[in-house]
Amino acid sequence: MIKLKKKIPLIDQHNKFGFYGNKFGGNFCAETMRKPIEDLSKLFEKLRKDRKFLKKKDHYFKHYLGGETPFFKLENLTKHLGGAQIWCKDVSAINGDAHKAYHATVNALICKESGKRYIAGDTGAGMFGKNLAMAAKKMNLKCKIFMGTKDISRQAPNVKFMRDAGAEVVPVDSGSKTLVDAVSECMRHYVSNCDNTHLAVGSAIGCNIFLKICAWSTSQISRELKKQLIKEFGEIPKLKLINVIGGGSSALGFWNEFIDFDKKHVELIGVEAKYAAPLSTNARVAILHGAAQYCLTDKEGQIAETHSLSAGLDYPGSSPLHGLLKDSGRARYTNASDKEALAAFKLITKLEDIRPSLEPAHAWSECIRLAPKLKKSDVLVVNNCGKGYKDKKIYIEQLGYYPK
Amino acid sequence: MKNSINNAFKVAKKENRTALISYTVCGDNTKDKSLQILNSISKDLDIAEWGIPHNCPTADGKDIQNSSYRALQNGIRLNDIFNLVKRFKRTKQSKPIILMGYYQMIFNYGEKKFIRKCKVSGVDGLIVVDLSFPDNKNFAKLCKKNSICFVQLIAPTTTMKRMKEIIKSSHEMIYMISTISTTGSKLKYSIKRIIKNYNIIKKIKPSKNVVIGFGITEKTISNLRSADGLVVGSAICREITRSLKHRQNPVTNVSKLVRKLKNKII
């Protein structure tokens, strides 16, 4: 079993080749990309210690993204389920409507520092694309977003947003026409344009440096949560932190500050989509998009197709950092079906005022399953990491309505 | 047999010309057709590269993606590839064959098993697109131990320090990527600049056979013929796509194209 190192940030627990636990991650990329990613690594290591840069980042987080996102108890749901206390870290309240806002903003800031004028990113649900388009506009960068044609049609509101913000949305029609092919196409674009383009990978995936930047950016969520917990409870209570997993960027941000806690004290639970669930279905390790990770493949090693109603979860791979958390036993992973996510959305929106997108609806489903089995003293916190409006059409198709 | 790649370069040098290297995808568009194509063009080739199709090819342009897609649609598997290599080698024993692919396919099959299979099938060399230096050190050693040439890549972005290290750890053949791009795009740099980059590599270690690839077509090939070898890939894959689209025989069309390419370098 892999052992986690205490007091070392999760993203820094890799060896000199970029491997976590000598097994996950690495830099499986074309020679052409080696120098640009090495330059980016050096720049990032400098910037994360640079006071001026950190101040600028905090300034953007506070004034551009709207500062701390709320943390509150869901009284009605708690009462209805009659078990653990259910709390919501409502990351969807951020300007940008999802955790991807942190990651997109940081990437645009890094791009600016690198002196590059072009930024390219991939997107599935469109949350990263939209936030990257917004950040690029704010910082005067030219932005290209790669998106599968299937996702362009099912996440149309976000596509409109990207185009309105001045980004070029590049439709990807190869393979599954979803996120996995969008990421491949975006990486190909980078291989061809790495001399003037910064690559912003949309989740905590890809070569070592890309997942580091991503998880570093989203860790803002757990920094806030830690303070909010202490404010509410006077200490860190016995907790279960439930988060949906696609690539896994929001979970890494939600969990980051709690990695060193004992798992009996703070339990980390990741919820995948049922037919895109490499972590919870014992998938093998495979190399995808530059890194070794748990990934769905066929027997021959070809990357498998996935199926999820949620575009953000429709991805065969998972962050190498989740591989590390799984193999070290620090986090546990489960999954929820489309149906279960829809049922969760139905219940949550009936009882509470939040409107989760399809992605966090999967996390809510696990919360609903768990809460009745637990005691009143147990605290469940769910990361409500995306706003539901982008899925309005799908919810109406599936449920017949979208709540006000 | 053992030094067939080196021999191929020697023969070309003796004839005072660059070595012609093809790249096609094994199984494109069917297993038999891809073997027929290779058999037919091999008389004009010095070395043949065969791609192992993968469905997440992050460094390939549209043409090779199309070829890989067709091959996968027709059900090609790694074991088929080894069998096809064996069949090719049965009649063209001295023609070196290099397999080129992504590391996932090897990783999934198992490194040792993969190399053993290469050896018994008659594979002479390997190019693993996304297993770059220094991550490829162990794998390269394993290749060497089994008399398989591990071909290192050098890109326009490779620094001088890194280039020296790569060359030092390389076997008899080095692949120079002409331009910052995926396979099959237009040459972004002038011929002069590409030759300059090539000369830098040659100067570090003149005895290594350095081939140039990416963006080599009928139009550009003669300008680069001072190199030890030139790889034409996407242009051939494009011809297969064109032939299939027009319901023509890819074997005759590709053979004509390769003959034309050859004529431009002699």
Among the listed residues B28, B46, B60, B228, the single catalytic one is: B60
Number of CB pairs, chain A paired with chain B, less than 8 A apart: 111
Question: Do A394 and A276 fall within a single domain?
Answer: yes
Q: Is A180 on the interface with B (CB under 8 A)?
A: yes
Q: At CA A351, angle to CA A346 and CA A353, rounded to 5?
A: 95
Whether residue A22 is contained in a domain is answered as no
- The minimal CB distance from B132 to the residues A29, A191, A301 is found for A29
Q: Could you tell me the residue ranges of all domains in chain B?
A: 4-265
| Digit-coded pLDDT (tens) for B143-163 | 999 999 999 999 999 999 999
Give the H or E element holding residue B193: helix B191-204
Burial of B225 (0-12, 13-18, 19+ CB in 10 A): middle
Instruction: Assign A1 a pLDDT band (cuts: 50, 70, 90).
Output: confident
Q: Is B59 on the interface with A (CB under 8 A)?
A: yes
Q: Is A242 helix (H, G, I), strand (E, B) or coil?
A: strand
Q: Do B158 and A35 touch (CB under 8 A)?
A: yes
Torsion of CA A89, A320, B129, B205, to 10 degrees: 110
Of A183, A215, A247, which marks where a domain is finished? A215
Question: Do A245 and A173 fall within a single domain?
Answer: no
**Best mutation target, A16, A287, A288, to test chain B (most B CBs within 10 A):** A287
Told to judge if B49 belongs to the known catalytic residues of this protein, a careful annotator would answer yes
**What is the residue range of A231's domain?**
67-97+219-399
Of A162, A185, A215, which marks where a domain is finished? A215
Which residues in chain B are closer than 8 Å to A210, comparing Cβ atoms?
A: none
Number of domains in chain A: 2
Q: Is B134 on the interface with A (CB under 8 A)?
A: yes
Q: Do A290 and B61 touch (CB under 8 A)?
A: no
Q: Do A287 and B182 touch (CB under 8 A)?
A: no
Residue of A nearest to B65 (CA): A174
- The minimal CB distance from A192 to the residues B130, B154, B182 is found for B182
Question: Do A244 and A173 fall within a single domain?
Answer: no
Determine contact, residues B59/A191, Cβ cutoff 8 Å.
yes
Question: Do A275 and A195 fall within a single domain?
Answer: no
Q: Is A400 helix (H, G, I), strand (E, B) or coil?
A: coil
**Best mutation target, A23, A29, A32, A42, to test chain B (most B CBs within 10 A):** A32
Identify how many contiguous H helices and E strands chain A contains and give both numbers: 15, 14
| Digit-coded pLDDT (tens) for A12-70 | 999 999 999 999 999 999 999 999 999 999 999 999 999 999 999 999 999 999 999 99
Which residues in chain B are closer than 8 Å to A27, comparing Cβ atoms?
A: 132, 135
Residue A154 φ/ψ, nearest 5 degrees: -85, -10
Which residues in chain A are closer than 8 Å to B170, comparing Cβ atoms?
A: none
Averaged pLDDT, A242-271:
98
Question: Do A46 and A135 fall within a single domain?
Answer: yes
| Digit-coded pLDDT (tens) for B27-59 | 999 999 999 999 999 999 999 999 999 999 999
Question: Do A354 and A243 fall within a single domain?
Answer: yes
Among the listed residues B28, B46, B49, B228, the single catalytic one is: B49
| Digit-coded pLDDT (tens) for A354-374 | 999 999 999 999 999 999 999
Whether residue A122 is contained in a domain is answered as yes
Output the tens digit of pLDDT for each of chain B's 266 residues.
457 999 999 999 999 999 999 999 999 999 999 999 999 999 999 999 999 999 999 999 999 999 999 999 999 999 999 999 999 999 999 999 999 999 999 999 999 999 999 999 999 999 999 999 999 999 999 999 999 999 999 999 999 999 999 999 999 999 999 999 999 988 999 999 999 999 999 999 999 999 999 999 999 999 999 999 999 999 999 999 999 999 999 999 999 999 999 999 99
Looking at the domain that runs over B4-265, which CATH code has it been given? 3.20.20.70
Q: Is A29 on the interface with B (CB under 8 A)?
A: yes
| Digit-coded pLDDT (tens) for B171-187 | 999 999 999 999 998 89
Q: Do A32 and B107 touch (CB under 8 A)?
A: no
Number of residues written out for chain A:
404
Question: Do A206 and A264 fall within a single domain?
Answer: no
CATH (domain of A278): 3.40.50.1100
Residue of B nearest to A184 (CA): B58
CA-nearest of B113, B213, B193 to B153 is B213
Q: Which residue has the tokens 């077509």?
A: B217
Q: Do B104 and A286 touch (CB under 8 A)?
A: yes
Question: Do A243 and A146 fall within a single domain?
Answer: no
Which residues in chain A are closer than 8 Å to B180, comparing Cβ atoms?
A: 32, 191-195
Q: Tell me which DSSP letter residue A247 carries.
A: S
Distance of alpha carbon A177 from alpha carbon A189, whole angstroms: 17
Whether residue A21 is contained in a domain is answered as no
Q: Do B57 and A184 touch (CB under 8 A)?
A: yes
Distance of alpha carbon A163 from alpha carbon A144, whole angstroms: 10
Q: Is B65 on the interface with A (CB under 8 A)?
A: yes
Question: Do A84 and A193 fall within a single domain?
Answer: no
Question: Do A300 and A265 fall within a single domain?
Answer: yes
Whether residue A356 is contained in a domain is answered as yes
- The minimal CB distance from B108 to the residues A26, A184, A286 is found for A286
Strands (E), chain B: 19-25, 47-51, 97-101, 125-128, 149-150, 152-154, 173-177, 209-213, 229-232
Q: Is A288 on the interface with B (CB under 8 A)?
A: yes
pLDDT of residue B3: 72
Question: Do A336 and A203 fall within a single domain?
Answer: no
CA-nearest of A346, A350, A368 to A78 is A368
Q: How many other C-beta atoms are found inside a 10 Å radius of the C-beta of residue B10?
A: 13
Q: Is B36 on the interface with A (CB under 8 A)?
A: no
Of A215, A238, A262, which marks where a domain is finished? A215
Whether residue A14 is contained in a domain is answered as no
Q: Tell me which DSSP letter residue A387 carries.
A: B
| Digit-coded pLDDT (tens) for A205-215 | 999 999 999 99
Question: Do A227 and A161 fall within a single domain?
Answer: no
pLDDT of residue B1: 46
- The minimal CB distance from B185 to the residues A17, A30, A192 is found for A192
Residue of B nearest to A185 (CA): B58
